[in-house]
Structure 1
Amino acid sequence: MFDVLKRILVDDMQMRAEDITPAVKRTEVGIDSLAVTELATVLNSRLGIEIHDYELLELCTVGDIADLLHERSSAAGDREPTEPHPGNVAPMTLWSAHANAAPTHRP
């Protein structure tokens, strides 16, 4: 389940893959009080696992989050993760995509 979580953190939340290990503290990779809300939403939509932001805030490491995902997915019956949906893109990613887009010229 750690690999699934890592893929979500990298693909959906634009975190650096090399920074994500089971032992790293969630705050060290940027999973702060704002990011847990987004992560909880992504986990629900991609994996069908209901996890609340306050539950994620109680966990210390990325490995702890993966363990909780494993626990919940086993209880709910494993579901294959879905690909990111354009609506599941982190707000900063949307801003970056807009900021880097080629200017449009209107006649």
Structure 2
Amino acid sequence: MYDVLKDILVADLQVREEDVVPTATREEVGLDSLAVLELATALNERLGIEVHDYELLDAGTLADVARLMAERRPGG
């Protein structure tokens, strides 16, 4: 799921690829609250993953976001 997250961050949210590492926080990659909302929407529309923006805001690192995605993945 981490690679899928990375693809969305780079392609859709224009995060610099070199900034996207598992240990990075959302602040370190430049995701403000609006970008987090866009990420939640993208996860739902593209992957059918229902996750709220506040859950993404509470995730400590990108690895935590990927773990949440894996938990919420349909059939997962």
What TM-score, normalized to structure 2?
0.93
- 1:86 aligns with none
What TM-score, normalized to structure 1?
0.67
1:77 aligns with 2:75: yes
- 2:29 aligns with 29
Instruction: For residues 53-91 of structure 1, give each alpha carbon's deviation from its aligned partner in whole angstroms, at most 9, with x where no partner exists.
Output: 111111111111001001111xx226xxxxxxxxxxxxx
Larger helix proportion of the pair: 2
In the alignment, structure 1 segments of 5+ residues that lack a partner are 79-107
Root mean square deviation of aligned Cα = 1.0
Between the two proteins, the alignment pairs up a number of residues equal to 76
Bigger Cα Rg = 1
1:64 aligns with 2:64: yes
Trace 1:1-107 onto structure 2 (pairs within 5 A). 1-73=1-73, 76-77=74-75
State the one-letter code of the partner of 2:34.
Answer: L
In the alignment, structure 2 segments of 5+ residues that lack a partner are none
- 1:90 aligns with none
DSSP 3-state at the match of 2:33: coil
Percent identity at matched positions? 62
Q: Runs ≥4 in structure 1, deviation > 6 angstroms?
A: none
